Amino acid sequence: MRWIAALVLALVVSGCAKYPSSSAGRTTRLVFTMTTDGHFRTGLGPGESGLPYIYIVALKLNTDENPTTDGPFPVVQPGGNGFVAGGCTHYILWNPLASPQYQIWQFNDATLNQSFYVGAPVNYQTLGDNDKTMSFEVDLSQLVPAGQVDTIKSVQVNFLTMNNQNVSGGGRLWDALGDSTVTTQINSPFLVRLRANQTFTNANQGTLEPRGDCPDPDLDLTDWSVEVRLP
């Protein structure tokens, strides 16, 4: 995947954006927020390389409330597709060089090496170079056909940050849910059940993601939330 080359359309200014959606077609929605200790690096700031850091929300949709299969994991050493491993069906990428900045992708192979562009979230917060919290909203009918939405009972979620998407070489800096300095916590996707309106946060889930487990503040996740909004 060469998402930067394929989808660089325009630089966009900071503000709010919304894609129209009719209430008649609305299904269950998920609202995601992610906060870093520094800021979301566009690559265009002073001393930056011209390419943005990678910020992704990775998802695995399940027809079981209690899946026994893996959820999305970070790629710690460059390899594979360069950013996500484990079980993953979709991911939302923040790309400040594209318009809109948020892009929904769906994997179409079990090896996670092939994916296709689905569209943009129904609502999203456009970010500038100094912003440190992103927020966007996805309708499940964007991820599966509307007739299949009711079969999705849970979603495994991980928030992934990294300084590059290289598939080889070294120099990888990254963060994800869990304490990245503790080996047993590296693969810690969060399970979201879709049975009721509710909001999961870093605070009410026992601070799953600590501050300071990544040396680069622009990659260091400090807060997150997932809100379930039933139709």
| Residue 3 banded pLDDT, cuts 50, 70, 90 | very low
Alpha carbon 147 to its chain's center: 25
**Which segment of 27-31, 46-50, 140-144 scores lowest on mean pLDDT?**
46-50
Cβ proximity of 130 and 21 under 8 Å: no
> CA dist 149 to 26, 60, 104, 222, Å?
11, 14, 17, 31
d(Cα 209, Cα 160) in Å, to the nearest integer?
11
- pTM equals 0.89
* Residue 96, CA distances (Å) to 32, 71, 162, 199 in order: 17, 26, 15, 27
Encoded amino acid at 116, one letter: F
CA distance 208 to 222: 10
Q: Which residues pair with 136 in a beta bridge?
A: 32, 124
User: Taking phi first (over 0 means left), then psi (-120 to 50 degrees means alpha), and beta for anything else, what does residue 151 get?
Assistant: alpha
**The pLDDT of residue 170:** 86
CA distance 167 to 81: 6
In the predicted model, what is the mean pLDDT of the chain?
90
Which range among 1-5, 87-91, 192-196 shows the weakest confidence by mean pLDDT?
A: 1-5
Residue 12 has pLDDT above 50, yes or no: no
Check: CB of residue 156 under 8 Å from CB of residue 191: yes
pLDDT band of residue 2 (cuts 50, 70, 90) is very low
Instruction: Compute CA distances 3 → 17, 44, 47, 56, 116, whole Å.
Output: 21, 17, 23, 13, 10
Report the C-alpha gap between 149 and 129 in whole angstroms: 36
Handedness of CA 170, 175, 176, 180 (dihedral sign): positive
Condensed to tens digits (0 to 9), the pLDDT of residues 68-116 reads 999 999 999 999 999 999 999 999 999 999 999 999 999 999 899 999 9
Question: From CA 19, how far away is CA 103, in angstroms rounded?
Answer: 13
Between CA 41 and CA 14, with CA 55 as vertex, the angle to 5 degrees is 50
pLDDT of residue 130: 87
d(CA 118, CA 22): 19
pLDDT for residue 180 is more than 70: yes
